[in-house]
Amino acid sequence: MIQCDNLVKIYKVADLEVVALQGLDLKVETGELMAIIGNSGSGKSTLLNMLGGLDRPSAGNLWVDGQDLLKFSEKDLVRYKRETVGFVWQNNARNLIPYLTALENVELPILLKGRRKRERALELLEAVGLSHRIKNRLNQLSGGEQQRVAIAIALANRPKLLLADEPTGSVDTRMANQILDLFRELNRSMGLTVVIVTHDPQLAKKVDRVVAIRDGKTSSEIIRRKSYAEEMAELEEGRESSAEEESHVEYAVVDKAGRLQIPSGYLESIGAAHTNKVRVTLEDGRIVLLPPEGSRE
């Protein structure tokens, strides 16, 4: 569904150039539910904006659903945003019109299609668990319910790819878990490819793959040892993984040139935090990093 190769994004602010992405590589399979995590300024929201057709890369390759976004005209981008991708924002104001009811909010984007707007809107509100709140205006809905309306709107154009930017950032933990469970159900029932951007590493418990971005590059991937469905089946059968067994394993990502990002804590532990050089040796089939000669071991 998504293929990013050596993706670069440079913003110009006054006379300064800010590099948001520095040769990022990413592959997302069709029907996958995955998360992208990273600190503020890591480049994760920039990546999401480019996947959504809201911004263009400065260099590299970006393919979504077999389409080369770098070759898109403005007309192509409009069609892509209307037919291929749906967007859920942290700020509900970007999706919702406050003086309309939940049903009217969902009907509005369906008007572009020109048919079955009432029936389709009711289907979507039922899919997100809000069929009992269709006549309520936004000020009568909780923050979590408003976010569910926003998700229904994002699904109105029957997208193949659903992008969510910090979708649980404005709700409490209980509601955040419900929203994440909803994404998983939509992923399973509709075959949607879902990419969630967040700063919350706890999302790893809800998705099968988490990609971590640091300084504009993919730095690591966290992959579930067992699928979410397998874990739920074990719980239903009364079997539970031992407390010592980690549910996920983390892998460092090596780019096509053989480079990888080493966590700063690891470099500090070998006394190489303040240098841009390390010694690399091969010992018993393992690659070992050592600080420069003469520095503290």
What is the Cα–Cα distance from 95 to 124, expressed in whole angstroms?
15
* Residue 174 forms part of a structural domain: no
Q: Is the pLDDT of residue 64 over 90?
A: yes
Q: Is the pLDDT of residue 203 over 80?
A: no
Q: Which residue has the higher pLDDT, 289 or 194?
A: 194
* Residue 283 forms part of a structural domain: yes
Q: In this predicted model, what pLDDT tens digit does every residue of 166-191 receive, in sequence order? A: 887 777 778 788 888 888 888 888 88
Structure tokens at 26: 């990413």
The domain in which residue 273 lies consists of 262-297
Nearest C-alpha neighbor of 214 from the set 100, 5, 47: 47
Task: Give the pLDDT score at 65.
Answer: 92
* Residue 276 forms part of a structural domain: yes
Structure tokens at 95: 């999706």
Give me the helices (H) in 160-279, please: 173-190, 228-236, 264-269
- Centroid of chain to Cα 277: 33
* Residue 234 forms part of a structural domain: no
Task: Give the pLDDT score at 142.
Answer: 84
- The model's confidence at residue 51, banded by pLDDT at 50, 70 and 90, is very high
Q: Is the pLDDT of residue 296 over 50?
A: yes
Structure tokens at 190: 């509709």
Average the pLDDT over 280-294 and give the result.
85
Task: Give the pLDDT score at 92.
Answer: 65
Q: In this predicted model, what pLDDT tens digit does every residue of 13-50 receive, in sequence order? A: 877 888 888 888 899 999 999 999 888 778 888 899 99
* Residue 272 forms part of a structural domain: yes
| Number of structural domains in the chain | 1
User: From residue 110, how far is each of 96, 106, 157 by CA, in Å?
Assistant: 14, 7, 7
Give me the helices (H) in the chain, please: 44-51, 74-83, 102-110, 117-127, 143-154, 173-190, 228-236, 264-269
Q: In this predicted model, what pLDDT tens digit does every residue of 221-276 receive, in sequence order? A: 878 776 666 666 666 666 655 544 567 787 888 877 788 878 777 888 887 777 77
* Residue 197 forms part of a structural domain: no
* Residue 153 forms part of a structural domain: no
- Centroid of chain to Cα 168: 12
Nearest C-alpha neighbor of 81 from the set 69, 90, 70, 92: 69
- Cβ atoms within 10 Å, residue 43: 23
